[in-house]
A and B are shown apart, each in its own frame.
Chain A
Amino acid sequence: MNIEEYISSGILEAYVLGELSSAEKKAVEQNILLYPEIKEELRQIEIAQEMLMMDLSIEPNSNVKEKIFEAIEKETRVDGKGKVVTMPGWWKFSLAASIALALVSSLLAIRYYYKWKEVDSNLIELLVQNQKIAAEYNTVNQRIDKIESDLKIANSPSFTRTIMNGTDNAPESVAFVYWNASTQDVYLSIEKMRELSQANQYQLWAIVDGRPVDVGVFDSTLSGLLKMKNVAAASAFAVTIEKSGGSTTPSLQTMQVIGNVIKG
């Protein structure tokens, strides 16, 4: 493909305008991945478009923001226990967006400062470092949140802990199930489990009246506690290896770990 001709045709400008069909879009997206020149050209076009749109700004009335946030609250579904059930992936942006926007506003402030005085380059260095530290602080905070909540479950008397020990298939493997018989909540943690290929996943089963019941799938890379499907009754828990996504019946010959529920 002749990259220059492709770019000169104006297809990227049509792409950022949002005018291509799904098929045309997919083709452009492929080319963005394949050719760094196209990716760079696209970036510049997008920035120019953004700056144009900023120049064409019109302020909306201030009450519009309230209405949007009200609508979002309505959309945020909550289950019977007050837990937020559906959540779009804004967590990806909690860090990136706030840091990026904070950085932009601090850089804009610097540019203004430039107009009137000479800028100490150390000041810029410090500001950038500050943003990096803020980003790391946020990451650490999130990790601590998760550890705290996992600890609460693990130490709670309402949860019965079942140790699942390794079978002959995997004598060294160990995993734990935390089960709250009254709320039916189940959490799983791995002590030691073998790495699996991409095609497979581990699947947890509850043994109820001698029959296996699916409790959910998980990966060997799991850290901390993972919330699984609810279980009303179980005499034992076991883990098998299934193809990714899980199976309706367990491949018992692959059983990795199993443990009996000991009621306290």
Chain B
Amino acid sequence: MVKGLHQKNRAAFDLLYNQYKGALYGSIKRIVKNEDVAEEVLQDAFLKIWNKIDTYDREKGRLFTWMLNVCRNLAIDKLRSGEINKESKTDSLENSVSKVETTVQIEQSTETIGLPESLIQLPEEQRFVVEFLYLKGYTQSELAEEFNIPLGTIKTRLRLAMVQLRSIYQVS
């Protein structure tokens, strides 16, 4: 019976992997950029998710958030460890398979190419914050420091961005 439980666990984990692999890999690859490194981080992340599932507490938030943070933190650690060049532009987004609507690109300025429609709809200073935090792996403090913006302003802009996104995605 114990073996059967293990198989059921594997089946649940399998479903979760299939459902979220794109979203989680996307978060990792946009931070580390290099494909081989991103795959390695994805593997490490899912192994960690498998092993640490007992530490997930639903009173603290949704499962996806927990998994995303595991992935993001591993990706940021990898970036900081110096294994890859943060400024590297060699593996660009163009090489990745993404869900971006290609028809929208014609109307976009060069600044917003490759971004999903939802982000293009954000006011520039809000989009800027979301880009650096979610697509480039900056922390709020790093962003504040590098661009000389007060931390409180970063937090407020992120807040506003998320409120906008909730409306765009019709979250209720």
Contact = CB atoms under 8 A, between A and B. Distances in A.
**A, B assembled together:** yes
Interface in B42-96: 42-43, 46-47, 50-54, 59-62, 64-65, 68-69, 72-73, 96
Interface stretch (A55-63, A114-122, A253-261): A55-63
A17 B133 contact: yes
Interface string B112-129: 000011110000000000
Interface stretch (A45-53, A154-162, A175-183): A45-53
A199 interface: no
B1 interface: yes
Interface string B25-48: 111011000000011001100110
Given A18-B68, A32-B59, A57-B99, A45 B29 contact: no
A9 to B, nearest CB: 7
A29 B61 CA distance: 9
A51 B99 CA distance: 12
Q: How big is chain B's contact interface, by range?
A: 35 or more
Contacts of A146: 1
A93 B16 contact: yes
B22 A18 contact: no
Candidate in A55, A61, A101, A148 with the most chain B CB atoms within 10 angstroms? A55
A35 interface: no
Given A59-B21, A145-B1, A89 B53 contact: yes
B171 interface: yes
Contacts of B8: 90-91, 94
Nearest to A67: B43
B157 to A, nearest CB: 8
A173 B72 CA distance: 55
Interface string A92-112: 111001100100000000000
B25 to A, nearest CB: 4
A64 B42 contact: yes
B169 interface: yes
A87 B8 CA distance: 12
A51 B47 contact: no
Given A19-B140, A44-B171, A53-B68, A94 B9 contact: yes
Interface string B5-31: 110111111011101011111110110
Contacts of B59: 29, 32-33
B11 A98 contact: yes
Contacts of A69: 10
Contact of B46 (A57, A68, A93): A68
B33 to A, nearest CB: 11
B99 A55 contact: yes
B108 interface: no
A43 B62 contact: yes
B23 to A, nearest CB: 4
Contacts of B54: 88-89
Contacts of B4: 145
Contact of B171 (A19, A48, A83): A48
Interface of A: 8-11, 13-19, 29, 32-33, 42-61, 64-65, 67-69, 71-72, 75-76, 83-84, 87-94, 97-98, 101, 145-146, 148-149
Interface of B: 1-6, 8-13, 15-17, 19, 21-27, 29-30, 38-39, 42-43, 46-47, 50-54, 59-62, 64-65, 68-69, 72-73, 96-99, 116-119, 130, 133-135, 139-140, 155-156, 158-159, 162, 165-166, 169, 171-172
The 4 lowest CB-CB distance pairs between A and B, nearest first, are A57-B22, A10-B159, A18-B69, A90-B9
